C-alpha cells in the first residue's frame, strides 16, 4: 500500500473521531504554546537588559566588590550576587583614585539601601541611592524642579536629597514643587533640593521610586559603613576600554595589597567588567531562567504525549475488527503501522503548529503588558529555534508515543481481530 493511501486512511480515522482528536490536539497545543511563550519571554528579557545596559553608553566599565568566580561564567550570577552582597572591599577612596587615571572621564560610585521616608503624616518605603554628581551625568538625569547633587554636597556630607518623580507625587501630590521641604529618613532630617524627571526602570533600578543623596551622607548616616556597592567608570573613548580595565586592575591590586603577578581575576577582591562582558553575563542569566521555565513547561508535553498514547490505544481497541478486515484483504503489518503512526504524527503536528501560533500570540500580549507595567522597552521576539523546536518536538512526540499503539495494532492476528466484539 502506498504511503498516500495510508495518509488518507489516517485522515479519515482522525475525522471520524473529531471529539477525541480535538482533545488529543489540545494537550499538545498547551505544551508547545507554553514552551514557545517561555522562550519568547526569555528572549524579550534579554533584549530589554542589553538595551538598558547599552543605554548607559558603550564606553563604560563596571566595578563591583568580590572576586570573579567561575560560577559567573557558568551563569549563576544571582547566587554570586547574594553570596557577595556583604563583601565590602571597595571604598569611596578607590573611586577617587580611579578618577585620576589619564583615560578616565568620570567615575560614579554608588551605595543603596531601603528605608522609610516620612513627611508630615505620610510614610513611604523607598530605595535610596548614595552617589555623586557623576552618577546623574552617566544616567543623563534631568530635573523638573530644583537641582542635582554637587561636589560640595558630597564633601560636606550635606543632608540633602533629590526625589524621584513618583516619590514626589506620593508625598506631595501631582504637580507640587517640594524643593525646600524637610523630610525624615531614619530619624534624620533631609532637605529636598530637587526632583528628577520620570525615566522608568533602568537596568533593574526604578529611579522614579527612589531618591539620590550624597554618597558620604548615605555611608555615615544611613549605612554606617565606608564601603561602596559598585561604580561605573566612563572612559574617554571606546578604544581605550581594554587598556583602562588593566590599569584599574593594577591600581586596585596595589591599593588593596593584592599580589597577583599572573593577573588572575579570581585572586582579586573586585570585579572589573566592560559593558560587553556585563551584557554577556546578564544574557547567560536570562538564558538559564529561560531553560528552567521551558523545562517546567515541557512537562505538559510529556503529559500530552502520554495522552496521545492512551487515546491511540483506545483507538486500536475500538478498531480491532477494522484492522482484521484490512489484513484479510491484503494489508500488511507495515500498512497498519503506518496508518496509526501517521494518525499520531498528524495530531501532534497539528497541535504543534497551533501551539506555536498561540504561544506567539501569548508572548506578544505579554510583551505589551510588560512594556506597560515596567515602562520599559520589552523586545518581542519569536526565535527561529523556538519554531523549529516546536515542530520537531511535536512530531517526535507523535512518533515516540504513537509507536507502541501502532505496533500493537500491526501485530494483531487477522483471525483474532475479526472475532473481536
| Number of domains within the chain | 2
Answer yes or no: are the C-beta atoms of 97 and 255 closer than 8 Å: yes
Structure confidence at residue 75 as a pLDDT band (50, 70, 90): very low
Between these two residues, 266 and 301, which has the higher pLDDT value?
Answer: 266
Residue found under cell 495530531? 347
What is the rounded CA–CA span in Å between residue 161 and residue 84?
28
Res 180 pLDDT > 90: yes
| C-beta of residue 83 within 8 angstroms of C-beta of residue 419 | no
**CA pair distance 198, 166, nearest whole angstrom:** 8
Angle, CA of 111, 113 and 114, to the nearest 5° = 160
Same domain, 301 and 166: no
Instruction: Report pLDDT for 212.
Output: 92
- The pTM for the full model equals 0.58
- Say which DSSP state 75 is in: T
Q: Are residues 301 and 249 in the same domain?
A: no
Give the residue carrying C-alpha cell 533584549.
47
Say if residue 261 is in the same domain as residue 299. Answer: no
Q: Cβ of 115: how many Cβ atoms within 10 Å? A: 18
Rounded to a whole number of angstroms, the distance between the first and last alpha carbons of the chain is 27
Q: Mean pLDDT score of the chain, rounded to an integer?
A: 77
**CB-facing half-sphere around the CA of 367: CA atoms within 13 A:** 24
**Per-residue pLDDT band at 266 (split at 50, 70, 90):** confident
One domain for residues 182 and 308: no
235 and 108 housed in the same domain: yes
Cα dihedral 79, 84, 85, 90 in deg (nearest 10): -150
pLDDT, mean of residues 375-387: 69
Residue 170, domain extent: 90-268
Q: Is residue 73 a part of any domain in this protein?
A: no
297 plus 158 within the same structural domain: no
Which of 96-100, 101-105, 238-242, 255-259 comes out lowest in average pLDDT? 238-242
Q: Please give the average per-residue pLDDT across 51-65, as a whole number.
A: 72
Residue with the bigger pLDDT between 201 and 105: it is: 105
- Cβ distance 219 to 93 under 8 Å? no
Say whether both 98 and 237 belong to one domain.
Answer: yes
| Beta-carbon contacts of residue 310 (< 8 Å; ≥ 6 apart) | none
pLDDT digits (tens, 9 = 90+) for 330-360: 666 777 777 777 777 888 888 888 888 888 8
CA 253/CA 95 separation, integer angstroms: 13
Note the Cα 357 to chain centre separation in Å: 22
Residues in CB range of 384: below 8 A, 6 or more apart: none
**Helix-helix angle 92-99:241-256, to 10 degrees:** 140
Where is the domain boundary, 268, 303, 334?
268
- H or E stretch covering 128: strand 122-131
Give the best-scoring range by mean pLDDT among 5-19, 56-70, 147-161, 304-318.
Answer: 147-161
Q: Are residues 218 and 109 in the same domain?
A: yes
- Those residues whose C-beta lies under 8 Å from the C-beta of residue 85, and which sit 6 or more positions away, are none
Give percent of the chain with pLDDT exceeding 70: 69
Q: Of 158-167, 178-187, 206-215, 323-332, which gets the smallest average pLDDT?
A: 323-332
Retrieve residue 207's grid coordinates. Answer: 529611579
Looking at the fold, whether 169 and 262 belong to one and the same domain comes out as: yes
Per-residue pLDDT of 181-223, as tens digits, reads: 999 998 899 999 999 888 766 655 667 888 999 999 999 999 8
In the predicted structure, residue 82 carries a pLDDT above the cut 70: no
pLDDT of residue 344: 78
Domain presence at residue 82: no
269 vs 88: CA distance, rounded Å:
9
Residue 72 counted as domain residue: no
Q: Are 135 and 210 within one domain?
A: yes
412 confidence band (pLDDT: 50, 70, 90): low
Domain assignment present for 381: yes
> Average pLDDT in the 155-175 region?
90
* Domain final residue pick, 204, 234, 268: 268
Please identify, among 219, 234, 268, the residue that sits at the C-terminal boundary of a domain. 268
114, containing H or E segment: strand 104-119
- In this structure, are 170 and 223 located in the same domain? yes
Tell me, yes or no, whether 352 and 393 share the same domain. Answer: yes
CA 195 to chain centre: 31
Does 79 reside within a domain? no
Residues in Cβ contact with 267 at an 8 Å cutoff, skipping those fewer than 6 apart: 67, 258, 260
Amino acid at each position: 500500500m502506498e504511503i498516500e493511501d495510508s495518509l488518507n486512511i489516517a485522515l479519515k480515522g482522525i475525522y471520524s473521531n473529531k471529539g477525541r482528536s480535538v482533545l488529543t490536539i489540545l494537550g499538545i497545543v498547551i505544551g508547545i504554546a507554553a514552551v514557545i511563550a517561555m522562550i519568547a519571554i526569555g528572549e524579550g528579557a534579554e533584549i530589554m537588559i542589553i538595551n538598558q545596559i547599552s543605554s548607559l553608553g558603550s564606553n563604560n566599565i563596571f566595578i563591583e566588590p568580590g572576586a570573579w568566580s567561575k560560577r559567573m561564567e557558568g551563569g549563576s550570577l544571582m547566587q554570586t550576587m547574594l553570596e557577595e552582597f556583604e563583601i565590602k572591599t571597595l571604598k569611596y577612596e578607590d573611586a577617587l583614585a580611579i578618577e585620576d587615571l589619564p583615560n578616565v572621564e568620570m567615575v560614579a560610585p554608588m551605595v543603596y539601601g531601603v528605608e522609610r521616608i516620612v513627611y508630615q503624616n505620610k510614610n513611604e518605603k523607598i530605595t535610596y541611592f548614595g552617589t555623586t554628581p557623576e552618577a546623574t551625568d552617566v544616567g543623563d538625569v534631568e530635573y523638573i524642579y530644583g537641582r542635582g547633587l554637587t561636589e560640595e554636597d558630597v564633601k560636606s556630607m550635606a543632608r540633602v536629597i533629590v526625589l524621584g518623580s513618583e516619590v514626589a507625587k506620593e508625598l506631595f501630590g501631582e504637580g507640587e514643587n517640594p524643593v525646600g521641604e524637610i523630610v525624615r529618613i531614619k530619624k534624620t532630617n533631609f532637605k529636598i533640593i530637587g526632583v528628577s524627571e520620570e525615566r522608568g526602570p533602568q537596568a533593574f533600578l526604578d529611579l522614579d521610586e527612589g531618591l539620590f543623596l550624597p554618597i558620604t551622607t548615605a555611608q555615615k548616616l544611613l549605612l554606617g559603613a565606608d564601603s561602596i556597592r559598585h561604580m561605573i567608570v566612563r572612559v574617554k573613548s571606546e578604544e581605550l576600554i581594554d587598556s583602562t580595565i588593566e590599569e584599574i586592575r593594577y591600581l586596585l591590586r596595589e591599593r588593596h595589597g593584592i599580589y597577583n603577578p599572573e593577573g588572575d581575576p579570581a585572586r582579586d577582591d573586585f570585579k572589573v567588567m566592560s559593558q560587553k562582558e556585563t551584557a554577556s553575563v546578564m544574557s547567560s542569566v536570562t538564558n538559564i531562567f529561560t531553560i528552567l521555565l521551558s523545562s517546567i513547561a515541557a512537562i505538559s508535553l510529556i503529559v500530552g504525549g502520554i495522552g496521545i498514547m492512551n487515546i491511540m490505544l483506545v483507538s486500536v481497541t475500538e478498531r480491532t475488527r477494522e484492522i482484521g478486515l484490512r489484513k484479510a484483504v491484503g494489508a500488511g503489518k507495515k500498512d497498519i503501522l503506518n496508518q496509526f503512526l501517521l494518525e499520531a504524527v498528524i495530531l501532534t503536528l497539528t497541535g504543534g503548529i497551533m501551539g506555536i501560533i498561540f504561544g506567539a500570540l501569548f508572548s506578544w500580549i505579554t510583551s505589551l503588558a510588560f512594556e506597560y507595567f515596567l515602562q520599559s522597552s520589552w523586545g518581542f521576539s519569536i526565535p527561529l529555534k523556538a519554531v523549529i523546536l516546536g515542530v520537531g518536538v511535536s512530531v517526535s512526540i507523535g512518533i515516540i508515543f504513537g509507536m507502541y499503539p501502532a505496533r500493537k495494532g500491526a501485530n494483531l492476528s487477522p483471525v483474532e481481530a475479526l472475532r473481536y466484539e
